[in-house]
Amino acid sequence: MSKLAGRAEEIAAHLVGHALAATVSKFDTDGRQSAVDFTLHWPDGRCGALEVTLVTESKSAAWQGLAAKEAWRWPAASPWEFRLAGADMPYRQTRRVVLRAIGLCDQWNVDAPRLLPADVLDRYPELGWLEQIGELRRASTGQGVALLPQVRSEFLDASPSDFAEVVESWLMHPHVPRHVEKARAAAGSERHLFLVPVDDVLPARFFTNDFPAPSRSPEGFRGLDGVWVWSNFWHQYLVWRGGFWAWRDFPPRTDHRPGSRADGAKT
């Protein structure tokens, strides 16, 4: 599991456990690879299921998982930024070429590979390949190489204004329907799905949580009791339950962790 996916599961367990006043326990362990991520338990004896998944572009899912393990930063003695030109990159090869390019740039005291002397560029043809993958440039602050996704130009009028439509569009990503089915097939009185979209699947108008909750139920999620959504730059999270969407505030951080009670007591 990537660091990003692990963090998504921790956040989901914290938020859902608090909102439902349920004990949340990790379930897909000890070889249960096809099981839901968490089970939910209530004091009255009821039980339920919680499935969690990142929503990513299929092209970017692999390298983003590797990048998350390195905290989205490669080691370097000086501060740099590397912004992708597209959704995908061969991670290890790009990392190797970027670090070589930085060494050359530091040696020649330039701020980007394109400013290196012509004979150096001829000697290292991989630098020309790197320009097709993304743009490397020296940064003014920070440490190491910050990895940045591609810049997307987007006309707001051309993107969906209804967030329910955006949620429905995620069913076009091959892995999302599998998680829907896993949650739907789980045993228990309640079945919940928690979605964590990364930036490249969110239209720009939804990067922050300053938009109204949708007014209709999302299609394609029948059989679920709750659909929960949170993205990295949101200061609230969004929940669909009982046929309605609503924004919810974050609970205190100390009141719940996976495997503990929603009131903060250890189990």
The b-or-e profile of 67-102 (16+ CB within 10 A means b, else e) is bbeeebebebeeebbbebeebbbebeebbebbeebb
Q: What is the mean pLDDT of residues 49-53?
A: 95
pLDDT value at 255 more than 90:
no
Q: CA 53, CA 227: separation in Å to the nearest integer?
A: 11
- For the chain, what percent of residues have pLDDT higher than 70? 86
What's the confidence (pLDDT) of residue 227?
Answer: 98
What's the confidence (pLDDT) of residue 260?
Answer: 40
The candidate with the shortest Cα–Cα distance to 226, out of 264, 249, 202, 194, is: 194
Domain residues of the chain, as ranges?
3-58+154-255, 76-143
What's the confidence (pLDDT) of residue 88?
Answer: 80
Position with higher pLDDT, 260 vs 23:
23
pLDDT tens across 70-93, in order? 888 999 999 999 998 887 889 999
Q: What is the mean pLDDT of residues 108-115?
A: 96
Position with higher pLDDT, 29 vs 87:
87
pLDDT tens across 170-227, in order? 998 888 999 999 999 999 999 999 999 987 788 888 989 999 999 999 999 999 999 9
pLDDT tens across 120-146, in order? 999 999 999 999 999 999 999 888 999
Q: What is the mean pLDDT of residues 103-121?
A: 95
